[in-house]
Amino acid sequence: MRRRKIFTKPPLRPNSDINVTPLVDVVLVLLIIFMVLTPLLDKDIPIRVPDTTKVETPEEVPPDQLVVGITPEGELLINSQKITEDEYVNRLKRMLAAKPPGEKLVFFMPDEKANYAKVIGALDGARLAGAETLGMMTELAEIVPGTGGAPGAPGTPGAPLSPPASPPPGTPSSTTGPSP
């Protein structure tokens, strides 16, 4: 019996070179995607912009406008008249019943220090009373003579609220649409 010698190669060192084949594949896929999308970026999408219209601002505030105010102490005011929470909804119902459908609008002007829960309660009460649209006043309107507003300088503490004027264009305000 003869012995055979078997030679083995010493183990190779780990290959530390980066395999660039997957990198090239990814780069080629990205190149194809950009080549396909680039012509689409030049397409114009037609947009129809509405025409501008001039908004008329009324000189006088309608005397039958409803403004609900909330003082920092939580008192409710309807057109500068203090009322209790118990008679708030009934009083608004009577005032809104006299208005035709589509014109049942109530503006709210809470003091910035008023309790949030009182403001939400007043909004809910107005909906229960039949208000179709609720508006938030962002600025205290000036008192126009002949509209029933009590005298007092607007913006001063304790000054009564007056009916709102239409806000000038660009004044932020929010309204809610008709109730479902």
Low-confidence ranges of the chain (pLDDT < 70): 1, 43-45, 55-63, 139-180
The CA angle 75-81-83, to the nearest 5 degrees, is: 50
pTM exceeds 0.85 for this model: no
The phi and psi torsions of 175 (rounded to 5 degrees) equal -135, 155
Query: Tell me, what's the pLDDT at 141?
Result: 56
Query: Tell me, what's the pLDDT at 140?
Result: 60
HSE, side-chain direction, 13 A CA sphere, residue 170: 0
